[in-house]
């Protein structure tokens, strides 16, 4: 490093990746599930015959419901059909290896019986601790649980936003030196202190109550009031980690003292993995900067919570989601599919169908998704490749018309040596593949053609070829 480093008190606490057992396990998940569930599931994007086109979990701000009406919805929250074991079983069948659950979204409603507010599940007709039921059921299925927690809380009198640090104007003012103060009055600033203790109490409560959970998934940390409190947030993070060894926290928790989010002023990742990929994927390995990362994805365009009307946008198919999963894995990331159960506790039939579709594919092809990383092959037109040890998995999404998958193998570092495909098989049915010479280009790269048998070619879903390379002279 010849670049001069900026001395930061609250930047990243580490250069490079975390390499303890908990983080290594995280890195191997491949596929996960997100669940957005709260009182917003009751209106499901509709009120008095009107439908919002905005995200259903933001319904309180839709203008279609008064704040008073919204803040009383919890009195009707009674999801009698909720069955945590059923959800966990379905997630398992889909192939998810971790699950992120909204313990508290921006509206402030707590899905666990928090001691620090009355706005919780304990004061609904349902009464039971939903977070506990989910942590227990998913953990029993061998699926690791992460708790989503919004640091935006519209229900708390001390909560204050101050605006979004991502807005160029606010960021510029914040960074223009001096002691930028996002608060308008002293009283507001004092009340924010109450909000900070409340937030800290709730987080310590979650970590205490649910020791089986593996990490916290933060949201809302773009508020400039939160950013301004970078030192306090940093200390809180250390406190949470000390209480729960191995705790995993993504880059959406805190910023450095200069207001940089995700990566600090020196370009180092803040906390454990890059959380920037919200409904988006990196295109290349270079884009990921070598960080750990995951991508969280909605099934419709931008609906996380339950929205009754899915005709408002394109709805992704299992094929779309499988392609994104394998693409993420080929770029060293995990892929997370979001579900938004309804107000009665049902997972909608569309989502159940999608989970089944993804699960059927995962049943056959999970080897190409779990515990893999980017492969030594360069990206090629037929699809994406992943690797685990010596095994390279080619997942073919674009099947060539001639039923031959042309594979470009890497060039040897040693002159006079070349890579050959020593073995190739279709992992469905463990059928050995015929490999033919695919020629050589003027740059000295070698190609091999893997012949797709009719049995495989006739199928409609993407298929996986597992190959092993060998260097020969």
Binding site for ligand JFZ (CB under 6 A): 55, 57-58, 219, 278, 296, 304
Kindly tell me which of 26 and 304 has the beta carbon lying closer to ligand JFZ.
304
Give DSSP secondary structure letters for 127-156: -S-HHHHHHHHHHHTT-EEEEEEES--TT-
Instruction: Decide: helix, strand or coil at residue 351.
Output: helix
For residue 57, the minimal CB distance to ligand JFZ (Å) is: 5
For residue 252, the minimal CB distance to ligand JFZ (Å) is: 7
The two tokens of residue 302 are 């931008």
Kindly tell me which of 58 and 382 has the beta carbon lying closer to ligand JFZ.
58
Instruction: Decide: helix, strand or coil at residue 366.
Output: helix
What are the E-state strand segments in 26-163?
Answer: 31-35, 46-47, 50-51, 98-104, 144-150
Phi (first) and psi of residue 113, to 5 degrees: -80, 75
CA distances from 92 to 87, 130, 137, 177, 367 (A): 9, 19, 11, 50, 15
Q: What is the CA radius of gyration of the chain?
A: 24
Give the CB-nearest residue to ligand JFZ.
Answer: 278
Sign of the torsion angle spanned by Cα atoms 5, 162, 63, 342 = positive
Sign of the torsion angle spanned by Cα atoms 212, 334, 111, 77 = negative
Kindly tell me which of 57 and 351 has the beta carbon lying closer to ligand JFZ.
57
- Contacts of 46-51 with C-beta under 8 Å, sequence gap 24+, read 46/308, 46/309, 51/308, 51/309, 51/312
d(C-alpha 450, C-alpha 51), whole Å: 51
CA distances from 101 to 55, 93, 134 (A): 17, 18, 8
Kindly tell me which of 101 and 382 has the beta carbon lying closer to ligand JFZ.
101
Element (H, E) at 425: strand 418-426
Kindly tell me which of 296 and 467 has the beta carbon lying closer to ligand JFZ.
296
The two tokens of residue 169 are 């104007």
Give DSSP secondary structure letters for 54-93: S-GGGGGGSSSS-HHHHHTGGGG---TT--HHHHHHHHHH
| Residue that the structure tokens 């990196």 belong to | 282
Kindly tell me which of 31 and 165 has the beta carbon lying closer to ligand JFZ.
165
Kindly tell me which of 257 and 274 has the beta carbon lying closer to ligand JFZ.
274
For residue 367, the minimal CB distance to ligand JFZ (Å) is: 29
For residue 152, the minimal CB distance to ligand JFZ (Å) is: 8
Kindly tell me which of 55 and 407 has the beta carbon lying closer to ligand JFZ.
55
For residue 362, the minimal CB distance to ligand JFZ (Å) is: 23
Kindly tell me which of 222 and 446 has the beta carbon lying closer to ligand JFZ.
222
Phi (first) and psi of residue 246, to 5 degrees: 90, -10
Kindly tell me which of 55 and 64 has the beta carbon lying closer to ligand JFZ.
55
Q: Length of the chain, please?
A: 473
Instruction: Decide: helix, strand or coil at residue 16.
Output: coil
For residue 297, the minimal CB distance to ligand JFZ (Å) is: 10
What are the E-state strand segments in 298-364?
Answer: 333-339
| End-to-end CA, the chain | 38
> Which residues, listed in sequence order, are joined to residue 405 by a DSSP beta bridge?
450
The answer to whether 215 touches 248, Cβ cutoff 8 Å, is yes
For residue 303, the minimal CB distance to ligand JFZ (Å) is: 9
Instruction: Decide: helix, strand or coil at residue 396.
Output: strand
For residue 47, the minimal CB distance to ligand JFZ (Å) is: 18
For residue 189, the minimal CB distance to ligand JFZ (Å) is: 25
Kindly tell me which of 273 and 446 has the beta carbon lying closer to ligand JFZ.
273
The answer to whether 450 touches 404, Cβ cutoff 8 Å, is yes
For residue 309, the minimal CB distance to ligand JFZ (Å) is: 17
For residue 33, the minimal CB distance to ligand JFZ (Å) is: 13
For residue 272, the minimal CB distance to ligand JFZ (Å) is: 17
Kindly tell me which of 304 and 419 has the beta carbon lying closer to ligand JFZ.
304
């Amino acid at each position: 490093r010849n670049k001069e480093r900026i001395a930061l008190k609250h930047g990243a606490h580490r250069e490079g990746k975390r390499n303890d057992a908990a983080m290594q396990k995280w890195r191997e998940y491949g596929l996960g599930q997100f669940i957005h569930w709260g009182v917003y599931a009751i209106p499901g994007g509709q009120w008095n015959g009107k439908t919002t086109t905005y995200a259903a979990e933001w319904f309180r701000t839709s203008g279609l419901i008064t704040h008073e009406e919204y803040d009383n919805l919890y009195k009707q929250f009674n999801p009698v059909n909720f069955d945590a074991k059923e959800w966990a079983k379905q997630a398992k069948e889909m192939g998810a290896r971790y699950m992120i659950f909204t313990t508290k979204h921006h509206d402030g409603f707590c899905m666990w019986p928090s001691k620090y507010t009355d706005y919780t599940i304990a004061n609904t007709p349902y009464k039971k601790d939903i977070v506990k039921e989910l942590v227990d059921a998913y953990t029993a299925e061998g699926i690791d649980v992460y708790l989503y927690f919004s640091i935006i809380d519209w229900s708390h009198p001390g909560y204050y936003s101050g605006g979004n640090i991502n807005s160029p104007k606010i960021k510029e003012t914040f960074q223009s030196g001096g002691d930028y103060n996002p608060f308008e009055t002293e009283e507001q600033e004092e009340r924010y202190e109450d909000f900070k203790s409340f937030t800290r109490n709730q987080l310590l409560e979650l970590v205490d109550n649910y020791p089986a959970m593996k990490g916290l998934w933060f949201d809302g940390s773009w508020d400039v009031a939160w950013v301004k409190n970078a030192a306090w947030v940093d200390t809180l993070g250390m406190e949470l980690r000390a209480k729960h060894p191995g705790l995993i926290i993504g880059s959406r928790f805190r910023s450095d003292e200069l207001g940089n989010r995700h990566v600090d002023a020196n370009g180092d990742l803040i906390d454990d993995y890059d959380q920037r990929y919200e409904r988006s994927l990196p295109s290349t390995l270079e884009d990921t900067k070598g960080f750990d990362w995951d991508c969280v994805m909605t099934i419709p365009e931008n609906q996380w919570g339950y929205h009754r009307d899915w005709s408002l946008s394109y709805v992704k198919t299992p094929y779309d989601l499988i392609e994104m999963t394998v693409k993420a894995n080929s770029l060293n990331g995990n892929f997370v599919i979001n579900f938004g159960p309804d107000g009665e506790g049902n997972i909608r039939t569309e989502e159940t169908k999608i989970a089944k579709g993804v699960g059927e594919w995962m049943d056959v092809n999970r080897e190409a998704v779990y515990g893999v990383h980017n492969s030594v092959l360069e990206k090629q037109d037929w699809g994406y490749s992943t690797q685990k040890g010596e095994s390279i998995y080619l997942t073919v999404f674009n099947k060539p018309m001639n039923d031959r998958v042309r594979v470009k193998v890497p060039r040897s570092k040693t002159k006079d040596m070349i890579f050959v495909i020593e073995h190739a098989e279709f992992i469905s049915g463990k059928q050995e593949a015929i490999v033919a010479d695919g020629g050589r280009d003027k740059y000295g790269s070698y190609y091999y053609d893997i012949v797709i048998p009719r049995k495989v070619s006739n199928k409609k879903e993407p298929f996986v070829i597992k190959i092993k390379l060998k260097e020969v002279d």
